Structures are given as C-alpha cells and as structure tokens.
A and B are shown apart, each in its own frame.
Chain A
C-alpha cells in the first residue's frame, strides 16, 4: 500500500473512534437533525393552527357602536363564532388592552379628507392575528360596498367586470426547486463545515498538541503526501456528514411526515433522482475541498485544540452566510453570481433542483469553485511546509 493510502486508512480508523467526530458526522446529521427539523416544522404548524383557532377579539370605542363599520363587523361575528367584538372607553384603553393581550385589535374611526379612515391597532408581533383581522375587515368592506351598490340599484357582478385566475407556467418541479431548492445546499454547506471541522482540528492541531507530528515527519514520505492524505480524510468527513444530513432529510420526509402535502411530497421525490444526487455531489465536492482548505491552515496555525476551536467556530458564519443569501428567493444564477464562490454553488444547486440549470453557468460556477478550492489547498500546503507552524 502506498504511504498516501496508509495515511488515509490510519486517519479514518482514528477519526471513526473519536466520539466528537462520530457525533458530528453520524448522530447529528442522521438522528438529531431530522428530529429537530421535524419538531421545528410541527411546532410552527401547531402555533399557526393555534393562532387560527383562537377567538379573535376586536375592540372599538363605545361611542362608535352605531357606526356602519362596527355594525357590519357585528354581522361577521354572528357568522363566525371565532370573532368577538368588545367595546372600550377609548383608544388609549384599547391600546392598553392589546398590550395586555386582552384584545387582539382595536378599531379607531376617524373622519378625514372626506373619506372614512379606519385605524386598526394591533400588536404587530403576531402575523397570523394581523392576517385574520385584515380578512375580517375586508369582509366588512366588501359587505359595505355591496350595500352601497344595492342602494344605487347596481349588481356587484356587473361592477367587477371580469374574473381572473393566476396560472403558473413553471412546472411543479421548477416552482419547488426555485422556492425551496436553496435549502439543500444550505444544509449541505452547514454539515460539510461541521463534518470537516473536528477532523481538521484533530488531524492537524491535535497531532501537534499530542506530540505525534514529530515522529510522522521523520518518516520517509514527502510532507505534501502527509498533507494530502490528511486533507483527503477531512474532505471525506465533510462530504460524509453532508450526504448523511441529506439522508436525514429524506428519512424525515418518509418516516417523520416532514412534508405533509402529498402533491408536494411527490414533486420533492421526483427531484431526488440518482442523477440529481450525483450532480449535487459533484457540485459540492470543490466546495467541501474549499472548506477543508480554509480550515486546515487555521488548524495548522493553532497550537492547541481550544485555540483551533476558538478560531474556527466563528468562521462557520462566514461560510454559511453566502448559503443563506443564495437561499433567498429572487437571486438567480447569472454571469455575475456564477463568479461568486459559494453563492454560485448554492444557486446552481437551486437551478438543478428546479430542472432549469444552464450548463454554461454551471461550468463557470464549477470553474470558479475549483480555482478557489485549489488556492485554499495551496495555502494549506504553504502553511504545512512552514517549520514553525508544524512544530510546537
């Protein structure tokens, strides 16, 4: 067996016996991450459901009791048992009651500019509640318009003129891919970083701290072979953690009911083909090498595990932030974004999931990422060659 393969075999044996690495590589991606994600989704859903099933209490000034808006709102409360009106003394009391969560909204009726202005006070922190108030006010507005039209002897159907229906031209795959496809590389990058982090510290800083590097450097192998052997293991760990996190996501969808809409689930499953997984892997490979290439020089520089951790941990944000930017809707892969490392891979993955990947942009993105990964590897090499960095 060649020395390079010997190093890889030995490092893999060691890291698979390290509890921290096993935790970040296997337990978190396959077990904790799917459970946490499912709990998060279900909790959000629970609170949404709870907000929608809560009795909505809307306050108004007692003096406005006979106002048409209030009267129409009363009609709404008769039809919907989850809406209740509560008279108050004035605006100040209304606001105070909102802050105390005794009511959810307050109607302040002012005459201004000859038009009726309805000021709707609400807490502003509960979006579901605000949405429900708006819907009920819209119902009142619609009812009042119809009443006014009837008074003028006009049918509301005659006024509306036409009906319309929004119809998307994009396929369900494209819509899901563009809207949610950014989530995959985000997860991939976060776990690739996590997967690379501990092995990088263990294989470089740890070797220095434990005093084993000196012995290794006396072996008849080139220093670059040691570096690349170790680096391969760091990259493999990152890829493994990232791939296992995607497996964790897949398990969540199939066993933990993460995606409840059956139509959406079918679309998501149709995206996850062998070709997609392979291309995703090929796209993320230079990115993972880049991550390893950033972490390794820092791990080589650090003199202790603690120091390495304190330097590397904040870097997580720097790496994951571009992934978040790429995750945002509206940002597309074009000649400009294809030149921006990390973001280009996130956007390319999004396009890949949507089935709209332009291979010119893909080539540019992959080229840029490979170049920057090569630069990171070169920096690692230079750092590992420095005697003062490698020896304590």
Chain B
C-alpha cells in the first residue's frame, strides 16, 4: 500500500532558472498538499499535463527526492525516516530509464539483485521465471547496448521485478515505445494487479488508462484537482470521453 499525505515539494530556483521561467520567485512549488492512497490489487493512475508534478510525486514515492513537507509510507514504512527499508518494497520503472549498455542482462540483473539483498539462489529462481515469461534467454549474455528497444524494455521489466516488490511505481512507462514493447508493460501491470501488488502509474495515453486503471487522480500545477475510482470518474460524465473529461477538469482548475 502507498499512502501519500499532505505531500509538498519546493525547489529553490537559481538565477538562471528564474530568468528562464520569467519569475522573481525564489522557489518553485512542485507539489502542494498532495494526498492519496493506492491499495494492493488495484492500479492507481496519476494523470496530469506536462509539468503538473507527476514525476516529482512518483520520485518522492520512490525515495529519490525528499518531500519538503508531508509523508509517504510504503506498506506502513515511512520513506523519509526509513528509506532503505521502504525502498526494498518498491519496483521503479520509467519510460526514460536507461540501462548500463556495457553490461549484459545477466550482469545487470545480478547487480540489482545484489543491491536489493536478494540471495543468489532466490535470484536464479526469479530470473529464470522472468526470462521464461519475457522470452529473454537468447539475449541474456549479449551486451545491453547491442539489444533492440523491445529487448531493453524486457531487461528493464526484469530489473524492476527481480526483488519481487510489493509496490510498483511506473512513470510514463510506455513513452517512446512501439506498440509491441508497450504491450509487455501493459501485461506487466496486469500481472502485478493479479498478484495483489500495489501499482501506481502515470501516463499520457488515455487508452492505457482506460485499459488498466482502477483508481485515478488528476494533478495540475502541483495540486490534486480530482481523485476517485475509475468507475465513478467515468460515471460522473458518461457522455464525455476520458480525454474530454480530463481536459475539462484541467481547464476548470485553471479558472478556480
């Protein structure tokens, strides 16, 4: 389970950044009092336009950045007070995630398994299952730099799942991928849901959201402007498409 309570994040702005953003403000409020809960066995979608605060939220959940205020707990463990313990339960995957090009998938998986404290025997069992599932055996010893985008995506999935995390954080995981590679991610999200894992993902692709989402929140300018179950969200405006409803909510929040 992920519990986000009153999460705020402020970044100091350098002179250069102030000039670029055409502002006199010395800080930028990326998140303001963001709260939501993601429950096991359900997929939570975080939607929002570019620069809304999706990545900042997910990075805070992943323990990559520290919140200015508020709390994030992963299965009851506070990410700020006990980051290493909380991170053990998180699998983090983004669309822009790079891989170590000079390592082979086998080396990369062993590296991350080691960082997560997975013992060798357990790693081998999990690795075999994931390799079977993703059909990875034939390129397991090739350098990652020489693999196709689809193969790399499979390595990323395997890397995310090798420590069998209870919580999965996907930040626009299919961005830049072709339909075939994106399908592997969609299947992964479905598998995670079936295994009663907690999943949060951000996306721009509304068809994906419709396909996977159980609960959602819309974030705009660092604030949650809508949050409900997907069913309720759709039922609130049955004549509108998801995209139309999303745009309406963003426009209305601008007026407010």
Which A residues are closer than 8 A to B by beta carbons?
A: 1, 3, 6-7, 10, 13-14, 17-18, 210-212, 214-222, 387-388, 391
Say yes or no: A215 contacts B117, CB within 8 Å: no
Q: Judge whether B126 is part of the interface by a CB distance below 8 angstroms.
A: no
* A18 vs B101: C-alpha distance when bound (angstroms): 10
Say yes or no: A6 contacts B114, CB within 8 Å: yes
Say yes or no: B112 contacts A219, CB within 8 Å: yes
Question: Chain B nearest CB: distance from A301 CB in Å?
Answer: 12
Beta-carbon nearest neighbor of A208 in chain B:
B98
Of A212, A219, A388, which contacts B99 at CB under 8 A? Answer: A212
**Given A14-B102, A220-B84, residue A3 in contact with residue B115 (CB < 8 A):** yes
Question: Chain A nearest CB: distance from B22 CB in Å?
Answer: 19
Say yes or no: A218 contacts B98, CB within 8 Å: no
Q: Judge whether B64 is part of the interface by a CB distance below 8 angstroms.
A: yes
**Given A14-B103, A391-B59, residue A215 in contact with residue B87 (CB < 8 A):** no
Of B11, B12, B87, B107, which contacts A218 at CB under 8 A? Answer: B87
Contact with A along B110-136 (1 / 0, CB 8 A): 011011110000000000000000000
Of B12, B97, B114, B143, which contacts A214 at CB under 8 A? Answer: B97
Interface centre among B85, B88, B103, B114 (most CB of A within 10 A): B114
Beta-carbon nearest neighbor of A226 in chain B:
B115
In the bound complex, residues from chain A placing their C-beta under 8 Å from that of B143 are 17
* A211 vs B84: C-alpha distance when bound (angstroms): 21
Say yes or no: B65 contacts A387, CB within 8 Å: yes
Say yes or no: B115 contacts A214, CB within 8 Å: no
Say yes or no: A14 contacts B98, CB within 8 Å: no
* A303 vs B112: C-alpha distance when bound (angstroms): 25
**Given A212-B97, A391-B59, residue A220 in contact with residue B102 (CB < 8 A):** no
Say yes or no: B90 contacts A218, CB within 8 Å: yes
Contact with A along B66-110 (1 / 0, CB 8 A): 100000000000000001110110101010111111110001000
A-B contact pairs, 24 of them (CB 8 A): A1-B114, A3-B114, A10-B107, A14-B102, A17-B102, A211-B97, A211-B98, A212-B99, A214-B92, A215-B92, A215-B97, A215-B98, A217-B62, A218-B62, A218-B64, A218-B87, A218-B90, A219-B115, A220-B84, A220-B88, A220-B115, A220-B117, A387-B65, A391-B59
The 7 closest A-B pairs by CB, nearest first: A211-B98, A210-B98, A218-B92, A220-B87, A6-B114, A220-B84, A17-B102
* A17 vs B143: C-alpha distance when bound (angstroms): 10
* A388 vs B30: C-alpha distance when bound (angstroms): 13
In the bound complex, residues from chain B placing their C-beta under 8 Å from that of A212 are 97-100
Contact with A along B145-174 (1 / 0, CB 8 A): 000000000000001000000000100000
Say yes or no: A18 contacts B102, CB within 8 Å: yes
Question: Chain B nearest CB: distance from A388 CB in Å?
Answer: 7
**Given A10-B103, A388-B11, residue A211 in contact with residue B96 (CB < 8 A):** yes
Beta-carbon nearest neighbor of B66 in chain A:
A387
Q: Judge whether B63 is part of the interface by a CB distance below 8 angstroms.
A: yes
Say yes or no: A6 contacts B115, CB within 8 Å: yes
Interface centre among B11, B88, B100, B169 (most CB of A within 10 A): B100
Question: Chain A nearest CB: distance from B201 CB in Å?
Answer: 15
Add 18 more A-B contacts to A3-B114, A214-B59, A391-B64 (CB < 8 A).
A1-B114, A3-B115, A6-B114, A13-B102, A14-B100, A212-B100, A214-B92, A217-B62, A217-B64, A218-B64, A218-B87, A218-B92, A220-B85, A221-B115, A387-B64, A387-B65, A388-B11, A391-B65
In the bound complex, residues from chain B placing their C-beta under 8 Å from that of A7 are 115
* A216 vs B169: C-alpha distance when bound (angstroms): 14
Question: Chain A nearest CB: distance from B47 CB in Å?
Answer: 21
Interface centre among A14, A220, A388 (most CB of B within 10 A): A220
* A387 vs B66: C-alpha distance when bound (angstroms): 8
Question: Chain B nearest CB: distance from A35 CB in Å?
Answer: 28
Question: Chain A nearest CB: distance from B16 CB in Å?
Answer: 12
Residues of B23-68 at the interface with A, using a CB-CB cut-off of 8 Å, are 59, 62-66
